[in-house]
Every structure is written in C-alpha cells, then in structure tokens.
Amino acid sequence: MHASALARLRRSLLAAAVAVAGAVVCGVPAGPASAADGLREVMFVGNNWDGTADVIESSGSFARIGRINVIPDKARRLAEIYLNPIKLAFFLGIRQGPGEGHDQFVDDMYATPDGTAMVVSRPSFADVVSIDLATGALRWRFPVSGFRADHMAVSPDGTRVAVSASTSNTVHVLDINTGRQLGSFGTGDKPHENIFTGGGKYIWNMSIGEVNNDFDSPSQDWLKGDRHITIADASTYKVVRTIDMRDRLNAFGRGDLSDAVRPAVFTPDESKLYFQVSFFNGFAEYDTATDKITRIKTLPKNPATSEDRTTWVNDSRHHGLSINPAGDRLCVAATMDDYATVVDRATLQEGPLVSASKPYWATVSGDGRACVISESGADRVTAIDFATGQKITSVPVGDHPQRVRIARIPAGWTPPAVG
C-alpha cells in the first residue's frame, strides 16, 4: 500500500477511535441526578491508607455525608496473603513502594447504575469488590491477574468497569453489577489510567512503566520498560492501535521528557488529549486527528521542592488533571510542587497557584463550576473555581485521599453502621 494511503488509513482509524457520542466527558457519565429516579449526585473520595471512602456533596458546600468501610473483609484477605509467600512479598512490596510505607486499600471507585453499590479497586488486595451501600457488605469480589489493582474507568452507560492489573500488564473489563469478566486485553508495562471514548466504543489505557526503581535520571529512561497508550475495542476487547509518545515527543523537540503518560483528559469533542508524564512539571497537548503533539506547557516549580527525582512519589511530579464541561479550562494538580492551578486552554496561561498539600487528583464538581482536588498530604479535598482560579472551600476527609469520582446514590442514603 502506498505511504499516503497508509497515512490516510491511520488517520481514519484514530478518528474512529475517538468518535464522539456526546455522552461522556473525561470518562464520567453525563447528566445530573434526577429526583424522578430517586437518586442524588455525590462524590466518592477514596482514602487510600484508611481503607475508607467518604461520600460528599458534589457541589456547593461539598459537605461530608457519610463514610464507607471498603475493607470489611480485611481479616480474611490478610489471612490469605500471609499464608502465601508470593502474595506476601508483593503485599509488602506495595507497602514499601507505591504505598510509601502504608497499605493501599482503595484506589478507584464508581457507583452501580442503580446507585445501590460502590465498586472499588483495592491495590494491596489485588482485587475489585462491590460494596452494598445500605449494609456495607460485599456483593462480589473479582481478583485481578497478578498482584495489584489500579485505576478504573466506567463506561458511559455505567454498566462496565475497566480496571488496570498493574503487575500483569492487563486491563480487565467487568460487568459492574455482577463482577463477571466480559473481556480483557494486554497493555504496556504497568497499566494505569483508563478512559472510555467514542461513547463507549473504545478504551484507552496508559501504561507508565516501572515507577518503583530509582533509575530516574533521563539517561536511565530505557530501564523504565515499555510505555505506550493501548486503544482497545470495547466490544471485542481486541487492540486496534497503540501510540508510543516517545516518537511524538522527539518530533516536538522534547526528547528529554518521559513518555510515561499519567493522568489524561480529552476535550469534550475528543479532538485533543491533554496528559501529564513522569517527572515533568506541566503537561502536553496531543491532536488526535494529526497524531502529533501540538503544544507543551511547563508550569512553575516550587523552590522548596527537591530536584532529586528519587524523592518524588512514584515518579509523578504532577499527578492530576481535569477539564471543565465547556472545554476551555484545565485544572492541574502539581503534586510534588504543592499547588493546583486552572489553565486557560486557548493560551495555556496558568491562573493563581492555589497552595495544596501533595494534591494527587483533580476532577470536576457536579455542577461543572469547580475543580475538586484531593490533598493527600492534608487529608482533605479542596474546590477551586474554574472561572476565577480561586479556592472555594476545603473539606476534611480520611487518611491520604487520592481518587475523587462523581456518583449517584439513593436520595435518602445514610451510611451503614460499622461493625
């Protein structure tokens, strides 16, 4: 086939992979909660070291509504782990590595479509579980392949959840109501972020490579493993395309940057992908139609932040990115630099630097007006106004909050008693 024809085929395939159905923004099902279906919109906040998830208002005061224990089976899981030397080795490795001396009990969370259960990935227990929001009991459990569960994504219709199994280089796709595996696909080393695109037709997975070694200088980058974006068909679970940002970064003149894609967000029309990479204080803009990086934004450094890369948590200088519903503002969590900022997407000019303690994630409030970051170093979530870039409020949560997700639960919900 002629080179120009191959190029057209490549562009056609990529365009199909990001076709817009208008039902999803940043992997979150669209549409406000409706009183008619008896559900209310909230936010789940995963307290990684606690093994709890706080439920807070999705806008306004962001007040805490209740708390869920996401490890009600802790004793049983620990007994299984301590009786298996291989599982125990990985369990302790997670504690000393990505857990920074703590067990990682909750990474990601979503609600089932009817709002009656929370589905949670639990890194240290290498599983995904469904927890009944009325009773706090487990409904189902799915052990992932390998020894660690990581980021998840929910399909636009809310019926499927994709989870990264980070030590087996696999993404599992589960029926969110039953926990039955619908399919799986292979990825690069250490799969991390997942995003449904094209109205649920495709799943994009970003692999970040090995983040638990100290081969962190640019000259040692090759020791971090195979890092690329994997695009899979969400019906057949066949890989339709892979994208290695190494060549794209080199073409842009930034061969110094890692190609380990961390948190990422699409514009509402899915024409642009914004993503963070390991070790970098900023983010890149990738045009999906031309398959090129078009802009790279460097954000301010905190003078108090050590330049010793081995001191940065899991290789992530900045970790957390969201985009408002209009698609004209980005919100960036500058993790190791202890701030968050709203960036004008047209000019890439950052707004005020809002002081924050190790912000680990950024998402969008239910009303779309605020960016909500998790401050893992201060055990709180903080809302920042997209329009002004100014802080709105902070709300205390549990120990080491990370992922924050929009959810819909029964309107009259009260937390179950903790036994």
Res 44 pLDDT > 70: yes
Which pLDDT does position 314 carry in this prediction?
84
Locate 195 and state its tokens.
Answer: 């995003």
Of 212-216, 242-246, 267-271, least confident by mean pLDDT is 212-216
Give the residues across from 233 on adjacent strands. Answer: 202
Termini Cα distance of the chain: 66
Residue ranges of alpha helices (H) inside 172-299 are 245-251
User: Domain of 220?
Assistant: 3-410
Res 18 pLDDT > 70: no
For range 201-211, the mean pLDDT: 94
**Is 416 inside any structural domain?**
no
Backbone angles phi, psi at 52, to 5 degrees: -130, 165
Burial degree of 117 (CB within 10 A; 0-12, 13-18, 19+): buried
**Is 417 inside any structural domain?**
no
248 neighbors 262 (Cβ within 8 angstroms): no
Res 26 pLDDT > 70: no
Q: How confident is the model at residue 12 (pLDDT cuts 50, 70, 90)?
A: very low
Of 83-87, 93-97, 140-144, 204-208, least confident by mean pLDDT is 93-97
d(CA 128, CA 166): 13
**Is 90 inside any structural domain?**
yes
Structural domain total, the chain: 1
For range 42-61, the mean pLDDT: 97
Q: How confident is the model at residue 33 (pLDDT cuts 50, 70, 90)?
A: very low
**Is 378 inside any structural domain?**
yes
**Strand-pair category, 339-344 with 354-355:** antiparallel
CATH number, domain containing residue 293: 2.130.10.10
Which pLDDT does position 311 carry in this prediction?
87
Q: In whole angstroms, how far apart are CA 347 and each of 107, 291, 297, 330, 337? A: 33, 21, 10, 11, 22
Which H/E stretch holds residue 180? none
Q: What is the pLDDT of residues 250-295, one digit of tens each?
A: 999 999 999 999 999 999 999 999 999 999 999 999 999 999 999 9
**Averaged pLDDT score across all residues of the chain:** 91
For range 13-31, the mean pLDDT: 41
Q: How confident is the model at residue 135 (pLDDT cuts 50, 70, 90)?
A: very high
Backbone angles phi, psi at 311, to 5 degrees: -90, -5
| DSSP-derived secondary structure letter, 350 | B
Of 32-41, 73-82, 89-98, 303-312, least confident by mean pLDDT is 32-41
Which pLDDT does position 3 carry in this prediction?
44
Which pLDDT does position 224 carry in this prediction?
86
For range 229-239, the mean pLDDT: 98
* More confident position, 312 or 3: 312
Read out DSSP for 376-401? TTTTEEEEEETTT--EEEEEE-SSSE
**Is 418 inside any structural domain?**
no
Q: How confident is the model at residue 355 (pLDDT cuts 50, 70, 90)?
A: very high
Which pLDDT does position 16 carry in this prediction?
45
**Is 173 inside any structural domain?**
yes
Q: How confident is the model at residue 419 (pLDDT cuts 50, 70, 90)?
A: low
Which pLDDT does position 35 carry in this prediction?
56
Q: In whole angstroms, how far apart are CA 33 and each of 42, 286, 390? A: 9, 33, 27
Strands (E), 50-132: 52-57, 64-69, 108-111, 117-122, 127-132
Q: What is the pLDDT of residues 362-409, one digit of tens each?
A: 999 999 999 999 999 999 999 999 999 999 999 999 999 999 999 999
**Is 415 inside any structural domain?**
no
Residue of 97, 101, 94, 93 lying closest to 122 (CA atoms): 94
Which pLDDT does position 273 carry in this prediction?
98
Residue of 325, 312, 321, 401 lying closest to 362 (CA atoms): 321
Q: In whole angstroms, how far apart are CA 44 and each of 54, 66, 155, 168, 310? A: 6, 10, 17, 27, 31
Res 42 pLDDT > 50: yes
